A and B are shown apart, each in its own frame.
Chain A
Amino acid sequence: QVQLHQWGAGLLKPSETLSLTCAVYGGSISGFYWGWIRQSPTLGLEWIGQIDQSGSTNYNPALRSRVTMSVETSKNQFSLTLRSVTAADTGVYYCARLWSAEGRYVATYWGQGTLVTVSS
C-alpha cells in the first residue's frame, strides 16, 4: 500500500520561503509523476504543479515564478519550494502521486496535508 508522508514548516512570515518534503513508502518514486496541490477556503483546490522521477516539471503559470519542485530518487522523496509567500498562500498543502490516463493526470494517493499559515 502506497503511503505519502509530508513535512515542513507550518508558520511563515510574509516574504519567507515555504519548503515541504514528501516521502513515498510502499512503492518506488520511479515511473510516476508526483504533484503538489493546495487547498484554501478562498481559492479552493489549486494544482501547484508536478514532477517526474527525472526532474521534468510542469508548474501552474500563476505560481511558476515562485515555485521549484525537485525529486530525490535515492531517498524516495520529492520537495516543493515556494518563495516570497504572502497571506494568499495560506492553506493546506498536499503532496500526491499522480496517475495518467492517456497523458491526463489525476491524484490517486495523497499525503496527509500540511497546514501552512502566512502571517506577520
Chain B
Amino acid sequence: IQMTQSPSSISASVGDRITITCRASLGIGRWLAWYQQKPGKVPNLLMYAAYTLQSGVPSRFSASGSGTDFTLTISSLQPEDSATYFCQQTNTFPLTFGGGTKVEIK
C-alpha cells in the first residue's frame, strides 16, 4: 500500500493551525499512525488507530480520517513542533510510511 503525504513541506507561524494530509492507495480502515521526527532524533509516535492520541502528546495535536484519506492537525503551532511528520499504515503487511511533511516555523 502506497502512502502519499501532502504537502511535502509547510512553513507557518506560531499559533497557526496547520493540517497535513495522508492518502492510502487502498482502504486501510482506521489503521493509520502518525509520527513526529525532529532533526537528528528518532521518530516519536503521536497517534494510532487514526485518531487516538499517544500518552503524553499535547492536545493541540488531533487526527481524523478513515478508508484512504487522513489528516493530522496542529491547532496552534508551537516552536517545538518544528519537525518532520510521517504517516504509517498499520493495516496490511508490509507496513508502509508516507514520505513525510516537514513543518517549519516562520
A binds B: yes
- The verdict on A94 contacting chain B, using a C-beta distance below 8 Å, is yes
**Contact: A108 with B95, CB < 8 Å?**
no
The answer to the question of A44 belonging to the interface, with a C-beta cut-off of 8 Å to chain B, is: yes
- Give Cα A61 to B91, complex, Å: 16
Report chain B residues within 8 Å CB of A58: 93
- In the A-B complex, the 5 residue pairs with the smallest Cβ-Cβ separation, listed nearest first, are A104-B90, A45-B97, A110-B42, A60-B94, A47-B95
In the docked arrangement, what's the CA distance between A26 and B35, Å? 23
Across the interface, do A106 and B48 meet the contact criterion of CB distance under 8 Å?
yes
Q: Which residues of B contact A (CB under 8 A)?
A: 31, 33, 35, 42-43, 45, 48-49, 52, 54, 86, 88, 90-91, 93-100
Contact A47 B100 (CB under 8 A): no
Which B residues are CB-close (under 8 A) to A94?
Answer: 42-43
Expressed in whole angstroms, the minimum distance between the Cβ of A49 and any Cβ of chain B is 8
Neighbour of B88 across the interface among A49, A106, A108, A113, CB < 8 A: A106
